[in-house]
């Protein structure tokens, strides 16, 4: 297994969620046990010595690998969700997507000031949701935030929006 095989396992869905968008669907990669293990192991190897104490997964595809990484890194797992999904007091941020607007929330008691945080999502496009997530996480920690993606769409130039991150790592770049 290698990164080229992982990239080939990702399905392209034209005109989703709106015309003109070519959606990178990771569900075809995740359903293959060998691909899922390879992706997980690659990300674990990158982060295993960084002292991560909390992994934050962005709704919803960030939950899948984020929770696996938290387990492997012996870290806690924190949900970053759409509005109204978390039951306790939250911080909230609104942001723009390449195809609309959205919001994210996080529980106010989910991260301690001394935590070392890894933010994980499946894909970096324009950087809207990742930048919003970084903005939310700045409410908690001063240790810097590591950011992880399975896929980065380089042509959309999202990485420069993530200047607040300590490190940004993507497995596959299109």
Between the alpha carbon of residue 137 and those of residues 62, 86, 142, 166, the distances in Å are 15, 16, 9, 12
Indicate the pairing of strand 11-14 with strand 22-25.
antiparallel
The answer for residues whose C-beta is within 8 angstroms of residue 17's C-beta and 6 or more apart is 23, 99
CB-CB contact of 120 with 44 (8 Å): no
Question: Is 113 exposed, middle or buried, given 0-12, 13-18 or 19+ CB atoms closer than 10 A?
Answer: exposed
Question: Is 46 exposed, middle or buried, given 0-12, 13-18 or 19+ CB atoms closer than 10 A?
Answer: middle
Q: What residues does 74 pair with on adjacent strands?
A: none
List active site positions.
61, 98
């Amino acid at each position: 297994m290698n990164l080229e095989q992982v990239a080939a396992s990702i399905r392209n869905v034209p005109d989703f969620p709106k015309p003109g968008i070519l959606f990178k669907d990771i569900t075809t990669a995740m359903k293959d046990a060998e691909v899922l293990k390879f992706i997980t192991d690659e990300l674990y190897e990158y982060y295993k010595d960084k002292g991560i104490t909390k992994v934050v997964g962005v709704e919803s595809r960030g939950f899948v690998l984020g929770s696996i990484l938290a387990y492997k890194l012996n870290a806690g797992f924190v949900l970053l969700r759409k509005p109204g999904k978390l039951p306790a007091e939250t911080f909230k941020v609104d942001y723009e997507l390449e195809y609309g607007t959205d919001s994210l929330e996080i529980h106010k008691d989910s991260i301690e000031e001394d935590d070392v945080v890894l933010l994980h999502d499946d894909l970096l496009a324009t950087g809207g949701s990742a930048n919003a997530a970084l903005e939310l996480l700045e409410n908690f920690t001063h240790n810097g935030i590591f950011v992880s993606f399975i896929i980065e769409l380089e042509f959309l130039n999202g990485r420069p929006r993530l200047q607040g991150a300590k490190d940004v790592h993507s497995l596959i770049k299109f």
